[in-house]
Structures are given as C-alpha cells and as structure tokens.
Amino acid sequence: MFTTMLEGTQEDWTHIAGEHMKHQVSAAPQQIMDSLARLASIEVGFGANQLEHSLMTATLARQDGASDEEVVAALCHDLGKLMSIPNHGAIAAEILKPYVSDDLYHAVKWHQDFQGRYYYEYLGKSKDMRERFRDEPWFAVAEKLVDRWDAPAFDPDFKADSLESFAPVVTKVFSRPVRAY
C-alpha cells in the first residue's frame, strides 16, 4: 500500500475502489436516514419543519405512483439545507447524482428556480426563472417534483408517512451500484 497517491499502482487502486464500494453500500442508506432526521431541527418560517416537509413531499410522490427514484428524490430534495440553505438544491442533487437519473438530478438541482413561480416576485426576482429550462429534457420531471409534490407540502395538518416507512426505498436506491467517480 502506498503512502502518497503519486506511488499508487493498479493493484492499490483496485483494492481501494473495492473498499469504497463496500463502505458505500453498507453505510449510505443509514447516513441518508440519519441526515433526513436532522432536518427536523430546521425551521425556516414555514408551518412545517424541513423533515415534515420532506416527508410530505415524498408521501405525495408515493401517493402519485412515483418510481422509487422519484420518491427518494422527493424525500431528499432539501437535504442540502443541512449545509447551506441558499445552495441546498445543488448539494442535494450531488448527494443523489450517483443513484438517480440525470433528469432527477437536474430537477433536484434546479427545484428552487421552479418553486420561484410561487414566490420569487415577492423577493424582487422574476417568477419565470424555470422558463430558461423549458427546452431541457428534464423540464417535465422538475415541474412534477415541484408542482405536484414539493409546493403543496407545507400543510401542518397533512398526514405524511413516517420516515421509517421510507427506509426500504432509501436502502434500495442508495445500495445499488453507483456511477463511477
């Protein structure tokens, strides 16, 4: 085993890649579930904290017949708020990137500009920010994520499914082989 990357061999890197994959498959689903639970501490002026909002969003996706990847993307779309509220979409998208389609990756990355239809004008921005993406192949996926699942998911009286109920689908999506580095 080397002590500097400058000396790494094919054998070293094959071993390291295998160890990374073992860790990723065994640890990623629980890390996601633990991170989602931490969203409960983020209350940013809505009638629901960010965990409750994420559970509502994922429940709406589930009730709408969404695929496993879509349900997980709906559940995790605001996960980046643990690190940065202004840049949360991009952070969540990068977490999801190895596990979901390119369309879902882009939908999560840009979901805040799609939400802007509902509030940007009140903050001095154009409410039509989503329109710059109109010709992108993922536009309809982003509209569905935001308009059908995310934007309606702020009702404190909504009975969302529990975080634990999403564990099997989180495990399924985050345990599959990931795309290369």
Query: Tens digit of pLDDT per residue, the chain (181 long)?
Result: 778 888 888 887 888 777 776 666 668 899 999 999 999 999 999 999 999 999 999 999 999 999 999 999 999 999 999 999 999 999 999 999 999 999 999 999 999 999 999 999 999 999 999 999 999 999 999 999 999 999 999 999 999 999 999 999 999 999 887 665 4
Cα gap 157→130, rounded to integer Å: 29
Q: Classify 11-174 by CATH class.
A: mainly alpha
Give the pLDDT confidence score for residue 2 in this predicted structure. 78
Give the pLDDT confidence score for residue 181 in this predicted structure. 46
Using the structure block, give the residue that is written with the tokens 């559970």: 55
Give the pLDDT confidence score for residue 24 in this predicted structure. 63
Cα gap 9→1, rounded to integer Å: 9
Cα separation values, 88 from 54, 79, 108, Å: 13, 7, 9
The answer to whether the beta carbons of residues 2 and 9 sit under 8 Å apart is: yes
173 in helix, strand or coil?
A: helix
The answer to whether the beta carbons of residues 77 and 54 sit under 8 Å apart is: yes
Q: Is the alpha carbon torsion for 163, 43, 57, 35 positive or negative?
A: negative
Using the structure block, give the residue that is written with the tokens 């345990």: 175
Give the pLDDT confidence score for residue 180 in this predicted structure. 55
Give the pLDDT confidence score for residue 110 in this predicted structure. 98
Give the pLDDT confidence score for residue 59 in this predicted structure. 98
